[in-house]
Structure 1
Amino acid sequence: MKPSILRRAVLAGAIATSSMIGITVATPAHAQFGGIVYDPTNYAQNVLTAARSLQQINNQIQQIQNQATSLLNEARNLTSLPFSQLQQLQNQFQRTQQLLSEAQRIAYDVQSIDQAFSQRYRGTNLSGSDKSLVADARSRWEASVGAFEDALKVQAGVVGNLDGSRASLDRLVTASQSADGALQAAQAGNQLIALQSQQLADLTALVAAQGRAQSLDMAQRAAAQAQAREQLRRFLTPRTGYQPGNARMFRD
């Protein structure tokens, strides 16, 4: 064989070998195990897809847990307070109101007060007899004494409500601090406001009763001064002296 022909044959064989090696590198590796073809690229893609699916499932589970927690919180927030102090507060208020309604002689009524003052105080008949003046003075005195008695009764009623108010306060504060949700806390707060309103009502009633007693006492003193001046004027007014007359000692 000629050298030129030999060189061409070796060169052709090298080119063919190089082409086969390039094809082998570019083509993904495959393996056969008992007739099963193993593809690494496809396996990696499957693993990545399974991981993403698992992450999605975990996210859904977390969302469901968050929703369940939110529903539980809403349920607690909607839970009502298991007790109410409103009826007890209303009973205390009614007791105080009843004491005010039992006011003696001159009640807490504008028309009644105007009528009483027109008859016993402003409209005192200073031209009447001494007997009528004494009767009017006694009536005014009795009204003043009755007003002081009414004030004492209201004071006793307000003091009597303190124990109930203290018990209600303790119970409501405890319920507010241990409330399960927003609704229970709000209801406890509302009842605390109602308790404060009831105490303010007792204080208003007490001030009104004391003010009534003081006002009637001052009015009684003013009327007594006017009556005293009239009685002094009558005492100092000269009268007709003694006039002798016939007296009969025995009957015929």
Structure 2
Amino acid sequence: MIARRRSLIMAVAAGVFGTMLSPWPAMAQWEVFDSANFGQNVLQAARALQQIDNQITSLANQAQMLVNQAKNLALLPLSTLSTLQSTISQTTALLAQAQNIAYSVTSVEQQYQQAYTSISSSMSDSALFSQAQTRWQNAVGGFEDALKMQARAVGNIPSDSGAMTQLVSASQSSTGALQAAQAGNQLLALQSRQLSDVVAVLSANGRAADLERAREAAAEAESDALYQHFSQYDAYSPTAVSMFGSSGN
């Protein structure tokens, strides 16, 4: 378009100068043609047209710049935030369902004190048995919770894969810097959600292993208490036993 305007300007200027050089018909003596003034006017007109052409080019560039800015400010039409938040909520709810000993410092302190560190020889056999049963239930529940958390993390893999594919595709087809940045931010959010799964699984596995080790340590203290109970009884002394009505002969 700009090249066409420039060609038009050159054509107009060439036509004017050609007219100036062509022979003029005889006119009355009182009509005097000022060729120098006419040529100056033509040059001024050509310069004016050139300035207009430059202004049009500048406006076209500014319009293109505004279009590019609008693309850079365009929002990404894809959002996975609600899905990520829902998945994190499900993982958090599963952690809250931990059996017997919850993921709470206060809960751990209270229940650990009651079932693992309060064993003494002054306790009755029934109390020792009750605590042993509680510790066994805690250990079994810890392993079950760990298996559930592992299943949850594995179950999230297909949805994570689909979300990652969508976000990468949106990033590659983004029309501006903002869309690319938003796609990148959502990918980082997805990675953070996956890391939360890893933390949850490691925590559940560590909890199960620690409960089992605590149970084994408490079992040693329980064995010592039971031994103390047994040692309190009088030593065994043999006595004569009469069988089948015999007199002991």
Q: Please report the TM-score for the alignment, with normalisation by the length of structure 2.
A: 0.80
Match of 1:90 among 85, 91, 115: 85
Q: How is 1:47-126 mapped onto 2 (pairs within 5 angstroms)?
A: 47-126=42-121
Query: Which residue does 1:34 correspond to in 2?
Result: 27
Please report how far the alpha carbon of residue 72 of structure 1 lies from its aligned counterpart in structure 2 after TM superposition.
0.6
User: What amino acid does structure 1 have at the position aligned with 2:69?
Assistant: E
Q: Provide closer, same or farther for how the CA distance between residues 124 and 44 of structure 1 changes in structure 2, counting only shifts above 3 A.
A: same
Work out which of the two has the higher radius of gyration on C-alpha atoms and give 1 or 2. 1
User: What amino acid does structure 2 have at the position aligned with 1:34?
Assistant: M
User: What amino acid does structure 1 have at the position aligned with 2:125?
Assistant: D
**Residue 201 in 1 paired to residue 187 in 2?**
no
Please report how far the alpha carbon of residue 243 of structure 1 lies from its aligned counterpart in structure 2 after TM superposition.
11
SS in structure 1 of the partner of residue 71 of structure 2: helix
User: What amino acid does structure 2 have at the position aligned with 1:85?
Assistant: T
Query: Which residue does 1:219 correspond to in 2?
Result: 214
In structure 2, distance between residues paired with 1:171 and 1:228: 59
- Runs of 5+ in structure 2 lacking a partner? 1-23, 240-249
Q: How is 1:9-48 mapped onto 2 (pairs within 5 angstroms)?
A: 33-35=26-28, 36-48=31-43
RMSD: 2.1
SS in structure 1 of the partner of residue 122 of structure 2: coil
Question: Displaced runs of 4+ in structure 1, greater than 4 A?
Answer: 240-244
SS in structure 1 of the partner of residue 156 of structure 2: helix
**Residue 190 in 1 paired to residue 182 in 2?**
no
Please report how far the alpha carbon of residue 224 of structure 1 lies from its aligned counterpart in structure 2 after TM superposition.
0.5
User: What amino acid does structure 1 have at the position aligned with 2:128?
Assistant: L
Query: Which residue does 1:20 correspond to in 2?
Result: none
User: What amino acid does structure 2 have at the position aligned with 1:98?
Assistant: A
In structure 2, distance between residues paired with 1:136 and 1:150: 21
Please report how far the alpha carbon of residue 179 of structure 1 lies from its aligned counterpart in structure 2 after TM superposition.
0.5
Q: How is 1:237-252 mapped onto 2 (pairs within 5 angstroms)?
A: 239=234, 241=236
Q: Provide closer, same or farther for how the CA distance between residues 33 and 153 of structure 1 changes in structure 2, counting only shifts above 3 A.
A: farther
In structure 2, distance between residues paired with 1:240 and 1:140: 32
Query: Which residue does 1:6 correspond to in 2?
Result: none
In structure 2, distance between residues paired with 1:124 and 1:236: 17
- Runs of 5+ in structure 1 lacking a partner? 1-30, 245-252
Please report how far the alpha carbon of residue 97 of structure 1 lies from its aligned counterpart in structure 2 after TM superposition.
0.6
Query: Which residue does 2:137 correspond to in 1?
Result: 142
**Residue 152 in 1 paired to residue 133 in 2?**
no
Q: Please report the TM-score for the alignment, with normalisation by the length of structure 1.
A: 0.79
Please report how far the alpha carbon of residue 32 of structure 1 lies from its aligned counterpart in structure 2 after TM superposition.
6.7
In structure 2, distance between residues paired with 1:39 and 1:241: 150
Please report how far the alpha carbon of residue 84 of structure 1 lies from its aligned counterpart in structure 2 after TM superposition.
0.6
Please report how far the alpha carbon of residue 240 of structure 1 lies from its aligned counterpart in structure 2 after TM superposition.
5.5
Contact conserved, 1:175 with 1:188, CA < 8 A, in 2? yes
